[in-house]
């Protein structure tokens, strides 16, 4: 089996799982996008996925993603991982969307980066941003605690070079996924009420996408289910 065959099989089984999850939840499959997560895998895999019809990809390390974005000019990369503020300027150049904004200081740094990228002709519109919610306040997992969420959403919404598009959530380790996604869905509904343009709900990965779809996910981020087990070290 060639690598392309393997990826095609991973895509087909993930799409089937997603379709079944939508059906079970009584949802239109067109409402839920599938974002292949290519972190740790080489740019050649991204190129094979492009040939199979994928256009957007998730990454979680700035350096690795910037290198892939430079190599593959027509692939669009979403930033899913923690962002050090000194990397915000670079992220604002290559990211099609950032899912992991979790502090006003990071939002400010991305605003400055996005403004510079717009000025320099490196972007043609504001940087779409999701605010990452933390249910348990675990700093290792990232995300803004619920108590600080409204203020962060305001900061992003007021930033002229950022566009608040929604929220991202990852259930805490050991959490019951049903309870966690239910809570995220409730928080998400509150954000959407205050920010009608923030309709994206990035929730669900290889292991829990069915539950996430049941609770309203509009974007599932799938790595292992499409690309297989990740190599142990990051690229480049």
221 binds ligand PLP (CB under 6 A): yes
Bond prior to 61 in cis (omega within 30° of 0): no
Which of the residues 95 through 114 are near ligand PLP (CB under 6 A)? Answer: none
Q: How far, in Å, CA of 187 to CA of 220, rounded?
A: 18
Which of the residues 143 through 172 are near ligand PLP (CB under 6 A)? Answer: 170
Region of 68-76, 154-162, 180-188, 219-227 interacting with ligand PLP (CB under 6 A): 219-227
Q: Which is nearer to ligand PLP, 109 or 222 (CB)?
A: 222
14 binds ligand PLP (CB under 6 A): no
Q: Considering Cα of 209, then 98, then 148, then 84, what sign does the dihedral take?
A: positive
Q: How far, in Å, CA of 129 to CA of 4, rounded?
A: 32
Nearest CA to 38 out of 2, 100, 93, 81 is that of: 81
Region of 24-32, 44-52, 185-193, 215-223 interacting with ligand PLP (CB under 6 A): 215-223
Shortest approach of ligand PLP to residue 96 CB, angstroms?
15
4 binds ligand PLP (CB under 6 A): no
Q: Which is nearer to ligand PLP, 107 or 170 (CB)?
A: 170
First to last CA, the chain: 26
Classified as helix, coil or strand, 158 is helix
Shortest approach of ligand PLP to residue 80 CB, angstroms?
4
78 binds ligand PLP (CB under 6 A): no
Q: Binding ligand PLP by CB under 6 A: which of 32, 130, 205, 212?
A: 205
88 binds ligand PLP (CB under 6 A): no
Q: What angle do CA 231, 233, 236 make, to 5 degrees?
A: 110
Residues 6+ apart with CB under 8 A from 134: 102, 141, 142, 143, 144, 145, 146, 172
Phi, psi of 142, rounded to the nearest 5 degrees: 80, 175
Q: Binding ligand PLP by CB under 6 A: which of 11, 79, 110, 222?
A: 222
The residues that touch ligand PLP, with contacts defined as CB under 6 A, are: 37, 39, 60, 80-81, 170, 205-207, 221-225
């Amino acid at each position: 089996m060639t690598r392309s065959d393997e990826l095609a099989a991973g895509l087909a089984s993930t799409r089937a799982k997603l379709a079944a999850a939508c059906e079970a939840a009584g949802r239109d499959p067109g409402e839920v996008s599938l974002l292949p997560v290519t972190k740790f895998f080489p740019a050649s895999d991204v190129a094979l996925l492009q040939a199979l019809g994928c256009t957007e990809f998730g990454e979680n390390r700035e350096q690795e993603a910037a290198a892939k974005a430079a190599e593959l000019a027509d692939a669009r990369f979403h930033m899913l991982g923690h962002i050090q503020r000194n990397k915000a300027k670079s992220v604002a150049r290559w990211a099609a969307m950032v899912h992991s904004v979790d502090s006003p200081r990071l939002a400010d740094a991305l605003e400055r980066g996005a403004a510079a990228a717009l000025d320099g002709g490196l972007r043609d519109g504001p940087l779409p941003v999701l605010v990452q919610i933390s249910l348990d306040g675990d700093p290792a997992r990232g995300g803004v605690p619920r108590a600080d969420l409204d203020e962060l959403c305001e900061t992003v919404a007021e930033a002229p070079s950022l566009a608040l598009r929604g929220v991202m959530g990852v259930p805490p380790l050991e959490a019951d996924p049903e309870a966690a996604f239910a809570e995220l869905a409730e928080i998400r509904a509150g954000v959407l009420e205050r920010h009608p343009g923030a309709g994206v709900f990035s929730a669900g990965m290889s292991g829990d996408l069915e539950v996430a779809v049941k609770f309203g996910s509009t974007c599932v981020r799938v790595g292992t289910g499409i690309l297989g087990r990740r190599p142990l070290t990051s690229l480049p």
